[in-house]
Structures are given as C-alpha cells and as structure tokens.
Amino acid sequence: EAGVAQSPRYKIIEKRQSVAFWCNPISGHATLYWYQQILGQGPKLLIQFQNNGVVDDSQLPKDRFSAERLKGVDSTLKIQPAKLEDSAVYLCASSLLAGGHQETQYFGPGTRLLVL
C-alpha cells in the first residue's frame, strides 16, 4: 500500500514570494491534515479536511495561508506572501475515519521550506 506522498521535498524561496505544497493521501482515506513543524517543536495542526470539506482551520493564518482539497483526494497548501517565520517542515497526514475512537494518522515525509 502506497503511503502519503508529498512534493516538493525541499523548497527555498525569498520572503514575500509565494509557494505551494502538494499532498496525495493514502487511497480511501477520508480525512487529510496539514501540519507545520518548526525546528525544535512538535507538529502543529493547520487545517483538517474530511473529504472535500474543512473540519477545522482555526490555526491557519488565513491572511497568507490557503488550502484546498477540491475532489476530496489530493490537496494543496499555499503560502502567499511568505515570511521568514514560515520556515518549517510542512507535513501532510491522512486517516481512514472508520468511526472508531482511535484514528491512526499516517504522515508523509514532509516538505522542508526555507524562507530567506
């Protein structure tokens, strides 16, 4: 079974530029998450989708970040314009949402973003 795919793996941009990240979750997984992991910290949830609807985007800086999952499968996360403090690893995760209490999230390898 293929895991969560993310691209690109690395990206270097200058501040005020825009950048986009792509995620393809595990086939059949209804729920998709985007996390931001700053160096030395744990992953922080930015947005959660269930199919193509947003469940929670309360921690997404909406003045510069946007995300979509139009067909309920793959997703893109965009930053425009980027700031220095956006330098982090952006992780995508997916889960099956079979209705049980425990929802194991499967993570992709992440995109490492450096803003200069």
Partner 1 sequence: DQQVKQNSPSLSVQEGRISILNCDYTNSMFDYFLWYKKYPAEGPTFLISISSIKDKNEDGRFTVFLNKSAKHLSLHIVPSQPGDSAVYFCAPFSSGSARQLTFGSGTQLTVLP
Question: Residue 6 CB, nearest distance to partner 1 (Å)?
Answer: 8
Neighbours of 15 (CB within 10 A): 13
Closest to partner 1 by CB, 61 vs 109, is: 109
Angle at 91 between CA 10 and CA 34, to 5 degrees: 130
Question: Residue 103 CB, nearest distance to partner 1 (Å)?
Answer: 5
Closest to partner 1 by CB, 13 vs 107, is: 107
23 binds partner 1 (CB under 8 A): no
Near partner 1 by CB under 8 A, which window of 13-21, 35-43, 63-71, 79-87? 35-43
